[in-house]
Structure 1
Amino acid sequence: GGATNAFVSLLLLPIMIAAVTLSGKGLAYIAVLAIAAYSVLLIKMPEHNMHQMNMSGHFISMWINFVLSASVIALVIGAMNRALKERERTIAQVREQQLRSEQLVTLDGAAAQITHQLATPIANLQLLFEELLEDHPNNLVVQQMQTPLQQCATQLDSFRKLSAALRLNNTQQHITTAQLQQQITDTLLLQYPDQQIKWIIENQTGGINTAILNSDAMLLPAILNLLQNAATANQQQDQNVLELTWLQEEHCGEYVYLLIRDFGNGFSATQLNDLGGQLMPSDHGMGLAVLLSNVTFERLNGSLTLYNHPQCGAIAKVKLATVFSEQSE
């Protein structure tokens, strides 16, 4: 009977299944096939079934009804399915962020306790060093002890200041890219004097040197974590150059990108998938520094992307939000 068959409405069933299981393109493809199938059945229907004009009008009305039903099913059920999937993704992201936050709180407590416990031994070592320096002022080994002890004392002092700032909630601040660049250069020169920084600035027409970034007390340590990993990768390959690139997309002043490239072995496939999102036990550590950096960038409306350079080494792409939009408001 063609289009007059009692079970012709079963052509709506594939559309329903496609609306739940397929993407938007797949759903549209199935809906068009179902409508085309019904149309072919209507056109190929035997002539004796359409010899009366009122019946042909009825059959055409049935076809219009089928097209409308198919369209409504595709649009409504498809939209509901997309909304449910989006809500599931949001719930999964919130759950992941909650688990990561709980993990970070635990690490926070452990770090504070360890820092407190290290303060006294370092102070004792400093006193012993001063006594040794008085007794053996020309001893080379004693003189070499001064630099690491000063670094430990400086780091502990920085931890205390940072903890005080976090307790007072006085962490929000603004900084220009030029100021951040100078801080990065000075700190890296102090901690890794054997590494040379090569600064590259692209798209200077966007005023990238004067761009004002949304920052807090954790921004510089987060970037330094990435620089420390890059310097370590360089040292393993006897390299001493780090390429840092400022990048700003044309016609878009909302974000500034800092690309940190090393010339090491690059990341493995597992590291690219999981590094920065969770702790990763390995021979070189737990990936904690990258995880903390990623959390800091996300809190400042930025992000961290890791990928390998086509030639050699790896690149950490830091997305930093500017405050241009806030100033315009």
Structure 2
Amino acid sequence: MTSLTSFFIPVADQVKQPQHLLLSRLFWLRWAMVAGELVVLAGAHAWLHIALPLTALLGLIGVQALINGATWLRLRWVRPAEQPELFLQLLLDVTVLTALLYFSGGSTNPFVSFYLPALAAGAATLAWPYALLLALCALGAYSGLVYFYQPLHIHDHGQAMAYHLAGMWINFSISALLITWFVSRIAAAVRLRDGQLAQARERQLQSHRIVALGTQAAGAAHALNTPLSTMAVIAGELRREMADNPSLAPYDEELRIVEEQIAVCKAALENMRLDADAQIRNEDSAAITPWLTTLLEGWRLRHPAVLLVAEVHQPGWMASQLQDLSQILLTLLDNAAHAVRGLGHQGEIRIRLTPAESSEATSARMGKKMAVIEVSDNGQGIAPELLQRLGHGPVASSSGGSGIGLMLAFASATHLGGKLKLRSATGQGTVAQLRFPLC
């Protein structure tokens, strides 16, 4: 049962399937041609009073409608439309049009140029061998209509040339509109596909960079573990030596700072290991407010001199991939702390957790509810030329940073299904907005 139903998709989704875009364009082009043929037939019969074999002509237009009905059913089939199938569809259009022209004057019919929309569709959708074969078939049909056709019977022979010129004008207008519409839609689809491919290549290149940085980070963590252990042993021996030698008491504060920094480095390496374990077990989904409160408390211990104002109370909100969120927020908070470092007690950092705006929430992937974490500072801001480059690659700044942390933060936000934005004005501070999905 599953294998049978997998061949069909809902009607509402049929034109969304990439493999059916060309077929759907042909589907609507054929309906436009059917509508034009009916209008021309009605005008020739009712207004110009031209004697036409209405039964045969209407029957052929009905055949076109049946072909389009079959195409509509084909659009519900998931299997991609291949080149031979598209060629066959267009060849059927050429064949039916040839039969219509045979019963209505052949090559003398001013609407003989209705071959052009089908040929334009073939040139835009088919590989050149199929497009050339379709053009040869149309040329052969046109040539045959020069000799084999049923002539039109026009009662007012004095107006025959005027009718012919008017028909040529209508034919040119309809053909031009159909060709313009079809080719422009195909060109738009090609541009969209090229844009999507460019974005995919950019994401792949960024992923390669992130993997390379992750590999380097893992190697650095492994290389730092032994030196840190050695430094911890030496610091312990110095602490015992200081207890036995009172003359070393003035260095107690410096030794305490060294011990704290060693502890911070070892804690960071341990957190890296725990983060990797949590991602493997996929156990990083939790309520946002308690998790964010704990994260901020730990950050305050590292930056006790920085004033941090937090508004993160949103009970009931849940999020996953909290390890990635932690890395993004710690990067943003560290950058904000660096920005207000020279302001003393006037420096301030604010962090807020709010729901995303309705326009952002509705554009979220998979229909998930979105939230926003905003980190702002009242520092000196970021220069416009530097702001444009941050997050897209390593940069060298006057503060000594390299921009790698922000590059990783931008990539992690995209991986989460969210987005990171920076907004800054020189002398007015910086605002970072992280939009991410909730569970």
Q: Are the equivalent residues in 1 in contact too, given 2:381–2:426 (CA < 8 A)?
A: no
Q: Are the equivalent residues in 2 in contact too, given 1:171–1:216 (CA < 8 A)?
A: no
| Cα separation, 1, equivalents of 2:222 and 2:390 | 29
| Cα separation, 1, equivalents of 2:210 and 2:356 | 33
Counting only pairs closer than 5 Å after superposition, residues 266-285 of structure 1 correspond to structure 2 as: 266-283=381-398, 284-285=400-401
TM-fit CA distance, 1:127? 1.3
TM-fit CA distance, 1:268? 2.3
Q: Given the alignment of the two structures, is residue 187 of structure 1 paired with residue 298 of structure 2, yes or no? A: yes
Q: What letter matches 1:293 in structure 2? A: A
In the alignment, what sits opposite 1:74? 180
| Cα separation, 2, equivalents of 1:188 and 1:276 | 22
| Number of equivalences | 270
Distance 1:140 1:216, change over 3 A: closer
Distance 1:215 1:165, change over 3 A: closer
Helix, strand or coil at the partner of 1:173:
coil
Q: Are the equivalent residues in 2 in contact too, given 1:175–1:215 (CA < 8 A)?
A: no
Runs (4 or more) in structure 1 with deviation over 6 Å come to none
TM-fit CA distance, 1:304? 0.6
Distance 1:60 1:272, change over 3 A: farther
TM-score (norm 2): 0.56
Q: What letter matches 1:159 in structure 2? A: M
Helix, strand or coil at the partner of 2:417:
coil
In the alignment, what sits opposite 2:435? 319
Helix, strand or coil at the partner of 1:209:
coil
CA RMSD, aligned part only? 2.9
| Cα separation, 2, equivalents of 1:303 and 1:147 | 35
Q: Are the equivalent residues in 1 in contact too, given 2:235–2:259 (CA < 8 A)?
A: yes
In the alignment, what sits opposite 1:177? 288
Partner of residue 347 from structure 2, selected from 220, 240, 252: 240
TM-fit CA distance, 1:227? 0.9
Give structure 2 stretches of 5+ with no counterpart.
Answer: 1-112, 114-119, 121-157, 244-248, 362-367
Partner of residue 407 from structure 2, selected from 291, 298, 302: 291
Give structure 1 stretches of 5+ with no counterpart.
Answer: 1-8, 10-15, 17-51, 324-329
| Cα separation, 1, equivalents of 2:425 and 2:317 | 27
In the alignment, what sits opposite 1:147? 260
Partner of residue 417 from structure 2, selected from 292, 301, 304: 301
TM-fit CA distance, 1:122? 0.9
In the alignment, what sits opposite 2:237? 131
| Cα separation, 1, equivalents of 2:354 and 2:426 | 19
Helix, strand or coil at the partner of 1:264:
coil
> Percent identity among equivalent residues?
23
Helix, strand or coil at the partner of 2:380:
coil
Helix, strand or coil at the partner of 1:301:
coil
| Cα separation, 2, equivalents of 1:116 and 1:257 | 35
Larger radius of gyration: 2
Counting only pairs closer than 5 Å after superposition, residues 29-44 of structure 1 correspond to structure 2 as: none
Which structure has the higher relative contact order (CA within 8 Å, separation 6+)?
1
Q: Given the alignment of the two structures, is residue 261 of structure 1 paired with residue 356 of structure 2, yes or no? A: no
Q: What letter matches 1:117 in structure 2? A: A
Cα-to-partner distance string for 1:241-276 (whole Å, 9 max, x where unaligned): 111122214654710011111112222223332211
Q: Are the equivalent residues in 2 in contact too, given 1:309–1:315 (CA < 8 A)?
A: no
